[in-house]
Structure 1
């Protein structure tokens, strides 16, 4: 297990990321292509009440961020949820199953997340360079993934500095769009109260309660907020993690929430929501309306910069999860390998990047956003929230460097809202998520029955599995 000091042995990950770098990596993970793709979709679903979906996404992020902050500050190790689930449910029993399921899902959903960003990148790239539709998106998305792996194939200190540089591009684009809309926009922006009657009207009569009406649209906005926990995956590479991890989480959530709300407000000041809802390239259309086609091309290039920056942070964080499991003796030993001179888990990076490359060639963006959420909610988000309660009961709170306020209310709210979001993804996606979990359980049981490990035999030390 990596020590918590700033000095690590030469064969472990290095603690080289400070607050600025950790926050920057979180924020570029959160932004990505998400808001520029889903902004019109939310307007289609909620009409003039679209801002409420972004508020709902921010509230859920803050509540869930309390869970991540408490766990991340107390257990700053590589792998994030992998370690949290194992500790919470028992390192020798159910925690092994829960953490295995998380890694199992990561091998599928992490490349899907990378693929979703790469596909969105390719869609916006079509505005810049119109190429034959039958091959252009695949060529661009595949190239993006290859370039990501090449840039991440270096030590973490260099990655942190590159992350800050990419973060500057994120801020330039977001602040430029927001400032232009606020100063030059002339449209009245609606922000009506979301009453039950209004909610039913916005959802075309499907729902009668505001929470349910928001559910379908919030699936899209939550996808755009995901990433506030990325710093927990990098826990073994954060300096002073007990202090920096909670701060990075909340600085990134608050910063991105403000930027998202202002971005939506600014766009609606230039493009009426009914028109914006039909735009395929909302940022390009927005800038073209204000400054002309040449400026729209420049803005589209910045959108691509932001999308690439986000994928950079996403693949960086996810590559540490199989590494943590393998180093713990619970996964294929090859994933525990650390580059001999650059000190990063290069095998894990290459495998996830390769899978992301393949997925970017096979799937459409509309097929992966809901699937990503449906696959992760039960094991990672709900399982982790319940796990925090188990840890508190077993270990108490005396040694916690960060304790969430109003406990257990944030846990209860997070579980309820996550389950509502899961239901809002649709039955087919819920079933696909359950199928992945079931397959993982079968693989876990077969593997452990052959080794005579829990639940089939006596417990063995984790070091055996890593030999």
Structure 2
């Protein structure tokens, strides 16, 4: 879909549901639900325990969550501008292809394939299994429950995409209501502990560890850009995506700060420090075993909806890459308007990761790699605006770009020092993307010569 189609799309959308273009999978509310479902997953319920082990003070962890929200919002400002200019499905793949170089678009596409969707789907499924066990469900040592979750969601979105979206929207509404209830339930205890807590000593503020914690927290916020991957399937195109990114991200930031405060101040620090199930321990401390089981069931449900949203959006990127020759053509095959083969392939890739890696390692790898990819998009936006002589005309976007790139730089430096294995894995993935681009160019040149 080209930029010229945008005015017509907006005109047809103005008539409400009757004016919605035939075949579009999502409207504004569906796009907002996609952002929320993609974002609220494993991170907010697991990251605070890891961050507290590094930072030592709950107040420092809350500051990190706030900084993560500012970081995400800065990204929304830039991505919204790009979505309005390039209203096509594909996300970073489309943005970098148009603003920097097709080779970097290919790299971003491979990052989306491995770190943007495959790894987070596996993380969400593994986390759901972990919390289902705490809620009284099966507690298998092997990831069989996670496997069933991925298979079930993959079949749903591949065989009945419209029903998959309906499930998605309803599940997000239930999830938001349940999270608000959890915040309200824990607020009295957490508020009292916050008031009684001594002020933190900033003389010992661990700057490097703070930047390192942003690796996990940036991953927890990483779904803020979800709608840009399916722009071509959204009624109203880039303008609707822009509104959905702002609305969804602001709601997520509010919910994250509330949940994090309840977790950090509702449970004794010694019980949640370095623990993945920090949310469940907070519920146990506040309301006893029944509260722990109820919250664990909520978290498992939230993780299932997160995996569902990524199985909805990720395959659209692969289908676009396949049509451009970056991935095998079979991934671009459409059944109607839906990339059924890409959806089933996405589920298969995620199952491989489910059985092959641990939760903490996956969180670190995804956080580092996705921050790097988003940072490249912001660099591409700056270059694109400077070439067009428009950079100084967009002061809000320029300030957002500076904030985003400064934070990304801190994350990358801390990753190289504290998490070199994740940085090395990210570098290898970039190499795979460049190699795939080079091979695709070679095949295209050979085909042109034969023609």
Shorter chain as denominator, the TM-score bin is 0.7 to 0.9
C-alpha deviation, 1:397, in angstroms: 5.0
Partner of 2:103: 97
Distance 1:231 1:186, change over 3 A: closer
Residue correspondence of structure 1 range 176-255 to structure 2 within 5 A: 176-185=181-190, 187-189=192-194, 190=197, 192=199, 195=202, 197-200=203-206, 210=207, 212-255=208-251
After TM superposition, the score normalised by the length of structure 2 is 0.87
Partner of 1:452: 445
C-alpha deviation, 1:444, in angstroms: 2.6
Aligned: 1:175 with 2:175: no
- Of 355, 360, 364 in structure 2, the residue corresponding to residue 361 of structure 1 is 355
Taking the aligned partners of 2:23 and 2:317, their CA distance within structure 1 comes to 16
C-alpha deviation, 1:385, in angstroms: 1.0
- Of 66, 72, 78 in structure 1, the residue corresponding to residue 83 of structure 2 is 72
C-alpha deviation, 1:192, in angstroms: 4.2
C-alpha deviation, 1:154, in angstroms: 4.8
Given that 2:74 and 2:400 are in contact with CA atoms closer than 8 Å, whether structure 1 keeps it comes out as: yes
- Of 40, 45, 66 in structure 2, the residue corresponding to residue 55 of structure 1 is 66
Given that 1:153 and 1:346 are in contact with CA atoms closer than 8 Å, whether structure 2 keeps it comes out as: yes
Partner of 2:407: 417
Distance 1:269 1:101, change over 3 A: closer
C-alpha deviation, 1:406, in angstroms: 3.1
Residue correspondence of structure 1 range 293-304 to structure 2 within 5 A: 293-304=289-300
- Of 90, 93, 112 in structure 2, the residue corresponding to residue 82 of structure 1 is 93
Partner of 2:118: 111
C-alpha deviation, 1:185, in angstroms: 4.6
- Of 43, 52, 65 in structure 2, the residue corresponding to residue 34 of structure 1 is 43
Given that 2:190 and 2:261 are in contact with CA atoms closer than 8 Å, whether structure 1 keeps it comes out as: no
**C-alpha RMSD of matched pairs (Å):** 2.8
Distance 1:14 1:98, change over 3 A: farther
Aligned: 1:385 with 2:386: no
Given that 1:80 and 1:321 are in contact with CA atoms closer than 8 Å, whether structure 2 keeps it comes out as: yes
C-alpha deviation, 1:97, in angstroms: 0.9
Taking the aligned partners of 2:50 and 2:98, their CA distance within structure 1 comes to 39
C-alpha deviation, 1:452, in angstroms: 2.3
Q: Mind listing any 5+ residue stretches in structure 1 that lack a counterpart?
A: 90-94, 201-209
1:76 is paired with a residue of what secondary structure? coil
C-alpha deviation, 1:418, in angstroms: 0.9
Taking the aligned partners of 2:397 and 2:264, their CA distance within structure 1 comes to 38
- How many pairs were matched up? 430
Taking the aligned partners of 2:273 and 2:223, their CA distance within structure 1 comes to 25
**Larger displacement relative to structure 2 (18-27 or 153-162):** 153-162
